[in-house]
């Protein structure tokens, strides 16, 4: 039986990669040779071959992503409850029009509180995940989420509901990063866009289930109309915790911690059982060599490295790529409440919400077919451009003073089309890009910072959306499409000049491209020499 001894030296110099019969010491030249072979194998690997070789990685990555089904289910309540009659009557105020409304400033406070909690969770994750690994942090957050749902369930005022939202935001913030980073680190390059975009699908599944539950309880009166949906949040955490307890840790995290032997064990669990030792050794060599490149670039896991040298550019791209996503979805995120304020009956607004999330799930499936043929950059820029144009169209539809139901249905149809296009273009692809751009050492911190910045924008939009659309405030209604469409144009301009194409690149190749300061639009035309860490222009 093979014995595994934890490597005490720098894993980028000389380390052991045990075979079945003996421990074999490998020189740095052997590591380079193994890394080159593993890179070639990974770039040639087909989707079918990757699924066959990494079945367990697919399963556990999907299991981690299912935490976002739970988060989407919960977060569907945050905004949709503001259009929910029983909730409005319990926590809202009687308006001059004779109906109950939760005041716009309170709505903004709840939305901002949830986003603030997520920012706290993201900040904690960037430290905790680096120190304790992905599995332990996920298990801890599932436990705390179960506890915080009690506060939401027993809330006797809108402010207690707000406090529960802040606390729930903390584990939600952690889920947002760990799910994507774990997915990107347990699979080969060809599987990465599928498993990372699955994160987007899981969110939509959660929102669909949450909105469906609210629709089912729409005609129910009294406190149990909203307390029962709260209680359903306790269903998923226990089975998820059991599955995550059995999952292997990310081999990239283990290599960064100089636990090469443990990384080998994790790789064996992530791959099919009959994998050859040489293939495992080559994959480990590729990981070790990638860490070596980053060490030569003086990269570590310290926060200051996010803003120094070449990592500053990588941080900018990661952050702005995430922010672009929020710039595109202000009307989509509040679709139920937005349509209600535009004049549609509550039941019709919720039906549009169900249609929206169903199309989002279908959109991710379409994206899986488009991703192999189109680059990440192409899909993101195309999606932003379409959403921007149709948002301006919504603004024009807000100008006429005709039947609000007619225009409300037209606007709702455009929003459904927007959501579908968004989710087969930029929506799911963004989760792939933000895990590919950062260095291995800084991946968790970069994605955490990007998601935190995203949530700052959520807070800003959370303040603006109720005020721009609610009749009791600015009453812009659909005309707010002009305002939000103008902001989206910023994303198009930035993406065109700054967003690089990372399709078909390993983490080591991306490191070398940034190390050599290759321009964003030149990424697809540049050839990488792994041994010399140099680049050349392809003809």
Q: Find residue 529's DSSP bridge partners.
A: 534
Listed in sequence order, the residues at least 6 apart from 437 whose beta carbon sits closer than 8 Å to its beta carbon are 314, 317, 318, 321, 446, 500, 502, 510
Q: How far, in Å, CA of 453 to CA of 319, rounded? A: 7
Residue 302 CB neighbour total at 10 angstroms = 12
Greatest Cα pair distance in the chain = 82
Question: Comparing C-alpha atoms, which of 151, 104, 188, 203 is closest to residue 451?
Answer: 203
Distance CA 269, CA 265 (A): 6
pLDDT attached to residue 61: 94
Please state, in angstroms and rounded to a whole number, the distance separating the CA atoms of residues 137 and 134.
5
Cα 24 to chain centroid distance, Å, stands at: 40
- DSSP string covering 286-329: HHHHHHHHHHHTT--SSGGGGGSTHHHHHHHHHHHHHHHHHHT-
Alpha-carbon distance values, 130 to 17, 292, 391, 427, 464 (Å) = 24, 18, 40, 27, 35
- What is the model's pLDDT at position 152? 81
Q: Which residues make beta-bridge pairs with 535?
A: 528
Quote the pLDDT of residue 3.
41
pTM beyond 0.95: the answer is no
Classified as helix, coil or strand, 72 is helix
User: Which among 80, 26, 107, 23 is positioned nearest to 470, based on CA atoms?
Assistant: 107
How many CA atoms are closer than 13 Å to the CA of 221, on its beta-carbon side? Answer: 0
- pLDDT score for 338: 61
**What's residue 107's pLDDT?**
75
DSSP designation for 15: E
Tens-binned pLDDT, residue by residue, of the chain (539 aa): 344 333 334 444 434 444 434 344 456 777 888 888 888 888 888 999 999 999 999 999 999 999 998 888 887 777 666 766 777 777 667 766 667 777 777 777 777 788 888 889 988 988 898 889 999 999 999 999 999 988 888 878 778 888 888 899 899 989 988 999 999 999 988 999 899 988 888 888 888 888 788 777 777 777 777 778 878 888 888 899 999 999 999 999 999 988 989 999 999 999 888 777 788 889 999 999 898 888 887 776 778 888 988 899 999 999 999 888 888 776 666 666 666 665 666 666 667 667 777 888 888 899 898 888 888 999 999 999 999 999 898 888 877 665 656 666 777 778 778 888 888 888 889 999 999 999 988 898 999 899 888 888 877 877 777 677 666 667 677 787 888 888 889 889 999 999 999 988 888 899 999 999 999 888 988 999 888 888 888 75
In the numeric block, which tokens belong to residue 180? 């994507």
- What residues form DSSP beta bridges with 93? 101
CA distance 473 to 10: 61
What's the rounded Cα separation, in Å, for the pair 459 and 184? 28
Tell me how far apart the alpha carbons of residues 480 and 468 are, in angstroms, rounded to a whole number.
6
Closest CA to 52 of 187, 210, 142, 243: 187
- Note the pLDDT of residue 319: 94
Of 226, 315, 288, 372, the C-alpha closest to 16 is 288
């Amino acid at each position: 039986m093979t014995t595994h001894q934890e490597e005490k030296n720098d894993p980028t110099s000389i380390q052991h990669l045990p075979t079945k019969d003996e421990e074999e010491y490998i020189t740095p030249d052997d590591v380079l040779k193994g890394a080159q072979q593993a890179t070639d194998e990974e770039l040639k690997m087909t989707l079918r071959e990757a699924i066959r070789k990494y079945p367990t990685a697919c399963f556990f990555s999907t299991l981690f992503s299912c935490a976002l089904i739970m988060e989407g289910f919960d977060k569907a309540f945050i905004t949709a409850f503001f259009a929910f009659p029983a909730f409005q009557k319990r926590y809202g105020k009687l308006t001059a029009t004779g109906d109950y409304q939760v005041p716009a400033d309170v709505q903004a406070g709840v939305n901002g509180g949830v986003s603030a909690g997520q920012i706290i969770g993201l900040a904690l994750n960037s430290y905790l995940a680096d120190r304790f690994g992905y599995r332990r942090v996920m298990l801890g957050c599932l436990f705390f989420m179960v506890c915080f749902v009690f506060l939401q369930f027993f809330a006797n005022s809108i402010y207690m509901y707000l406090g529960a939202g802040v606390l729930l935001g903390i584990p939600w913030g952690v889920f947002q990063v760990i799910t994507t980073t774990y997915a990107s680190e347990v699979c080969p390059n060809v599987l990465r866009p599928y498993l990372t975009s699955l994160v987007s699908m899981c969110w939509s599944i959660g929102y669909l289930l949450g909105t469906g539950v609210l629709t089912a309880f729409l005609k129910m009166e009294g406190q149990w109309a909203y307390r029962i949906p709260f209680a359903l949040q306790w269903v998923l955490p226990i089975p998820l915790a059991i599955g995550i307890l059995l999952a292997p840790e990310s081999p990239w995290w283990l290599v960064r911690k100089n636990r090469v032997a443990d990384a080998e064990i994790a790789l064996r669990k992530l791959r099919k059982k009959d994998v050859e030792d040489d293939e495992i050794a080559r994959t480990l060599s590729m990981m070790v060599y990638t860490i070596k490149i980053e060490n030569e670039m003086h990269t570590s896991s310290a926060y200051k490295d996010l803003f120094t040298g070449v990592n500053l550019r990588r941080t900018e791209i990661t952050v702005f790529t995430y922010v672009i996503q929020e710039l595109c979805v202000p009307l989509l995120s509040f679709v139920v409440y937005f349509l209600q304020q535009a004049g549609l009956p509550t039941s019709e607004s919720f039906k549009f919400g169900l249609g929206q999330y169903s199309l989002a799930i279908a959109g991710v499936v379409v994206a899986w077919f488009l991703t192999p043929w189109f680059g990440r950059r192409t899909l993101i820029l195309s999606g932003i451009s379409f959403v921007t144009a149709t948002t301006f169209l919504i603004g024009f539809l807000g100008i006429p003073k005709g039947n609000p139901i007619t225009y409300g249905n037209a606007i709702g149809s455009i929003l459904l089309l927007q959501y579908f296009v968004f989710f087969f273009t930029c929506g799911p692809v963004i989760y792939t890009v933000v895990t590919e751009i950062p260095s291995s050492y800084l991946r968790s911190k970069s994605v955490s910072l990007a998601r935190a910045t995203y949530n700052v924008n959520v807070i800003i939009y959370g303040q603006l959306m109720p005020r721009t659309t609610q009749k009791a405030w600015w009453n812009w209604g659909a005309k707010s499409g002009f305002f939000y469409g103008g902001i989206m144009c910023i994303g198009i301009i930035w993406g065109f000049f700054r967003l690089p194409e990372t399709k078909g690149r390993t983490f080591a190749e991306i490191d070398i491209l940034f190390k050599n300061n290759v321009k964003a639009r030149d990424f697809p035309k540049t050839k990488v020499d792994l041994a010399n860490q140099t680049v050349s222009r392809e003809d």
